[in-house]
């Protein structure tokens, strides 16, 4: 599962970076249980869901600030470009999506406690 946060200014370079990472970062175990295989290596699926709350800033006060999250009219084309590029670069039927901007009930089952943050700006 990919929760995709989009900020204003995200563009083609960010889309290319994140798509390459999603398909090629080695986070799946090999026969020795070492994270050594990519999604492309295992032929896995991606469920990609837009998630503006990833840009929540709760450092001040008690209410998160979402000022860094791109508004829907800016984020939607970026989200759609990520989905399109993934389908062009991989097996289209293996790319699944949520509904952009919709309230959805999404379930996630982890086989292990691994969550990887990817940031095209490399701020961490």
Q: How far apart are CA 61 and CA 115, in angstroms?
A: 27
DSSP letter, residue 7: B
pLDDT in tens, 20-31: 999 999 999 999
Q: What does the block give as tokens for 9?
A: 């200014």
**Domain 2-97 belongs to what topology?**
3.50.80
Q: Which of 53, 84, 97, 115 is catalytic?
A: 53
* CA dihedral of residues 20, 9, 50, 91 (deg, nearest 10): -30
Q: Which two tokens stand for residue 69?
A: 């999250």
Known active-site residue 53: yes
State the DSSP code for 46.
Answer: E
Domain ranges of the chain: 2-97
pLDDT tens digits for range 99-121: 998 898 988 888 777 888 999 98
């Amino acid at each position: 599962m990919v929760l995709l946060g989009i900020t204003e200014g995200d563009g083609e370079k960010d889309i290319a970076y994140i798509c390459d990472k999603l398909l090629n970062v080695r986070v799946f175990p090999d026969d020795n249980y070492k994270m050594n295989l990519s999604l492309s290596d295992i032929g896995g699926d991606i469920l990609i869901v837009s998630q503006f709350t990833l840009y929540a800033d709760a450092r001040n006060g008690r209410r998160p600030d979402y000022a860094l999250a791109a508004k829907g009219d800016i984020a939607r084309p970026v989200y759609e470009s990520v989905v399109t590029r993934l389908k062009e670069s991989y097996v289209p039927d293996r790319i699944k999506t949520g509904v952009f901007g919709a309230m959805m009930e999404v379930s996630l089952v982890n086989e292990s406690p691994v969550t990887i943050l990817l940031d095209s700006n490399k701020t961490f």
